[in-house]
Amino acid sequence: MLIDFHMHTVFSDGELVPAELIRRSIYAGLDAIAITDHADFSNIEHNLSGLKKICEKINSLYGNKKSGNKFQVLPGVEITHVPPALIKDAAILARKSGAKIIIVHGETLSEPVEEGTNAAALKADIDILSHPGLITETEVLAAKKNGIYLELSYRKGHCLANGHVAAAAKKTGAGLIISSDTHSPSDIMGEKEYDAVGLGAGLTAEELKKVKENAFNLLKKNA
């Protein structure tokens, strides 16, 4: 299965409404996605309220064997630039509001994310730490301990530390996830692009297979 848990729509800074993002994802060959718009305390409840509605309708349609299609979409959030001391509370609110996938916007090299964000995120009830930049070994071990996946990103700028993240995860046994961080139609990954992210970060074919299994396991756990 090809799964992407990190995608944005017009409800944050993406270009597509959820229905078009879903249609284009199906066309690209994805089997499941999560819609994870940028969120903080101002929009977590509002975004998830609307998002849950389309997720329910799409999953009802494509979960019907008569449709001839199999596709799942999960409602989620990417907690973004929230001060580290407030990340735990934001994750609690997101989960209570119906988020199936919770991502925290990590300390990427391409944005001025507050120091301490990675460490705080790894103590919260989240699923994925996105583009965590030059994450420390202590933080990677915390991700492993708490069952939080570290993202290898397809997105320009955020992908700069993919090699570092992959190497740290391989050294410690922490779990990895590959995501597109889609904002526009051209960002949507097919299998070719997905595999290139993993192999480009230094994963072997067998390690890449494990990353895909991680995504499948997360889908089963949270769907």
CATH number of the domain at 37, please.
Answer: 3.20.20.140
3-state helix/strand/coil string of the chain: CCEEEEECCCCCCCCCCHHHHHHHHHHHCCCEEEEEEEECCCCHHHHHHHHHHHHHHHHHHHCCHHHCCCCEEEEEEEECCCCHHHHHHHHHHHHHCCCCEEEEECCCCCCCCCCCHHHHHCCCCCCEEECCCCCCHHHHHHHHHHCCEEEEECCCCHHHHHHHHHHHHHHHCCCEEEECCECCHHHCCCHHHHHHHHHHCCCCHHHHHHHHHHHHHHHHHHC
Residue-wise pLDDT tens digits, 46-81: 999 999 999 999 999 987 655 556 899 999 999 999
Q: What is the pTM of this model?
A: 0.96
Tally of structural domains, the chain: 1
pLDDT, the chain, mean? 96
Q: Give residue 223's pLDDT.
A: 87
pLDDT at residue 70, as a whole number: 87
Q: What is the span of the domain harbouring residue 81? A: 3-222
pLDDT tens track for 185-209: 999 999 999 999 999 999 999 999 9
